[in-house]
Amino acid sequence: MTQGTYVEDEFQRDTTYIEDRVTTDGAGEHEWPAEPGRYRLVVARACPWANRAIIVRRLLGLEDAISMGLCGPTHDSDSWTFDLDPDGLDPVLGIPRLKDAYEKRFPGYPRGITVPALVDIASGRVVTNDFAPMTLDFSTQWREHHRAGAPDLYPEPLREEMDVVMRRVYTEVNNGVYRCGFAGTQAAYEDAYERLFTALDWLEERLADRRYLMGETITEADVRLFTTLARFDAVYHGHFKCNRSKLTEMPVLWAYARDLFQTPGFGDTTDVVQIKSHYYEVHRDINPTGVVPAGPDLTGWGTPHGREALGGRPFGDGTPPGPPAPAERVPTAHNPLVGADGLVRR
């Protein structure tokens, strides 16, 4: 669900979220303790902000500590819903709409019902929907519950530079595609378009001689960029008019995106059928007919990328995650590169 307003016909995302955090001991004001089994991460595979939480949870091996509820790809103006589950009810929370968890804590909640959201299972109340710190907290506050071999996605020596890079990726790319798609005038669109492709050109240059955004290993910065790149040709190029170049026509970014897609945790969490369903069916102001395009062909995501020549170790001193749990696997029909074990075939 896209929250935003217009200022001089430019789309501006509403970034007012529930700022509670889950921390190691939960000792601070508006903090909750990191207790395994206490929270349910509610997501939708279609949403790029939720997709990053799915990826980080999987890379760190937090599946046993934080359960995951999956909403369907479409929603109405009221709420994301659990229409993929039997009887339309989340099997753990027992609710049909994510809004119910928001209302349980904040009756008459006045803002949009967004994913990802962490919900306290016992009380049924939403804890936070503040997606940016949520995944950083998965790395730093849940460390005791990471799997053996989990990568360090937010390494301390890189944090100052990482924060700068991630801020530019967010403002110019992650949110930049939305500024193009929801621009209210030609001038606002053209400004957003120019900013987006200036940033993509910067990323082409940055990644030309380094395998990942911060160097030799995958970090949260790569997770945040990947979720936009994974949707670029299927949605943003046409639906959001980000059409100077397709991802497949940007050689460095295309190779980088394929490298990540073929890495456990990335492509195996990507459901292109749900992604297209969400954008083309929900955004009727942009696509009044609700017709969902049949393409693009996804087989190119499995082709060799050649990024190994730059060196690097994807997981640093750690190891890749194992196959996803059967209940959390993307259907092969939704991603033809995903095998029966839930992993991407090369």
Q: Show binding-site residues for glutathione.
A: 80
Kindly name the residue from 47, 71, 180, 242 that is annotated as catalytic.
47
How far is the C-alpha of 36 from the C-alpha of 25, rounded, in Å? 12
Cβ–Cβ < 8 Å for 209, 31:
no
Cβ–Cβ < 8 Å for 116, 42:
yes
How far is the C-alpha of 66 from the C-alpha of 68, rounded, in Å? 7
Is the preceding peptide bond at 296 cis, omega within 30 degrees of 0? yes
How far is the C-alpha of 87 from the C-alpha of 90, rounded, in Å? 9
Buried/exposed 229-265: b ≥16 CB within 10 Å, e otherwise: bbbbbbbbbbbbbbeebebbebebbbbbbbbbbbbbb
End-to-end Cα, the chain, rounded Å: 33
Q: Which residues pair with 125 in a beta bridge?
A: 120
Cβ–Cβ < 8 Å for 48, 42:
no
Kindly name the residue from 17, 39, 102, 178 that is annotated as catalytic.
178
Active site residue 236: no
Known binding-site residues equal: 80
Q: Catalytic residue positions?
A: 47, 178
